[in-house]
Amino acid sequence: MEGRPQPQSELYALGSTLYHLLTGHKARDNQPTIFDFPPLRSLRPEISQPFAEIIHKALKKNLDERWASAREMEQALLRLPPLPAAEA
């Protein structure tokens, strides 16, 4: 299936975009490959561990380790605990 569009490829792009929006870090700056993202919480420790895990699953090098579908990733996001209310 290599070289053919797969849902997991689109989810990698989504994960990479979210990672960049949250941190300013670009995949092209990863070493030794574009799949070697620093742990999200090392750059943004205030992000919850469960949310970071969802993004990192989208960024896995192996397609079989990524979310199987956008619906599966959506369900994981919807199961996240609510964020605490911001203090005024």
Residue 16 has pLDDT above 70, yes or no: yes
What is the tens place of the pLDDT at every residue in 26-79? 989 999 988 899 999 999 999 999 999 999 999 999 999 999 999 999 999 999
- Asked if 32 contacts 38 with a C-beta cutoff of 8 angstroms, the reply is no
- pTM of the full structure: 0.85
**DSSP summary character for residue 63:** G
- Asked if 20 contacts 40 with a C-beta cutoff of 8 angstroms, the reply is no
Q: In sequence order, which ranges of 24-78 are alpha helices (DSSP H)?
A: 40-43, 49-58, 70-78
The domain ranges of the chain are: 7-78
| Closest by Cα among 32, 17, 22, 25 to 73 | 17
Residue 7 has pLDDT above 90, yes or no: no
